[in-house]
Amino acid sequence: MSSASPSYKGHRYPVEVIAHCVWLYFRFPLSFREVEELERGVLVSHETVRRWCAKFGQIYANGLRRRRPRPGDKWHLDEVFVRIDGELKYL
């Protein structure tokens, strides 16, 4: 699968609305009807959200998966206890 951005040509709604609906569905445990209700001010049906997710969803899901923290990532802590010469120090 290529990483090129999807083509929104020929769709009735702006790219921002489509992208937000698909992102909501894949980022949070929401149903199509719940995503429909969250889009206030935009009349969009749950069936339209389902079609968008089927068409554009894999690209958004891959992007969310890519940004997820990995086991080898570095974590920066504000405060930590370290044992130096057998003595516990607070940093």
pLDDT tens for 61-86 read 787 777 677 777 777 767 878 888 88
- pLDDT value at position 4? 53
**Is 15 a domain residue?**
yes
Domain enclosing residue 65, as ranges: 11-91
**Residue 26, class by beta-carbon neighbours within 10 Å (0-12 exposed, 13-18 middle, 19+ buried)?**
buried
Pick out the chain residues at pLDDT < 70.
Answer: 1-6, 67, 77
- pLDDT value at position 5? 64
**Is 44 a domain residue?**
yes
- pLDDT value at position 1? 44
Provide the number of structural domains found in the chain. Answer: 1
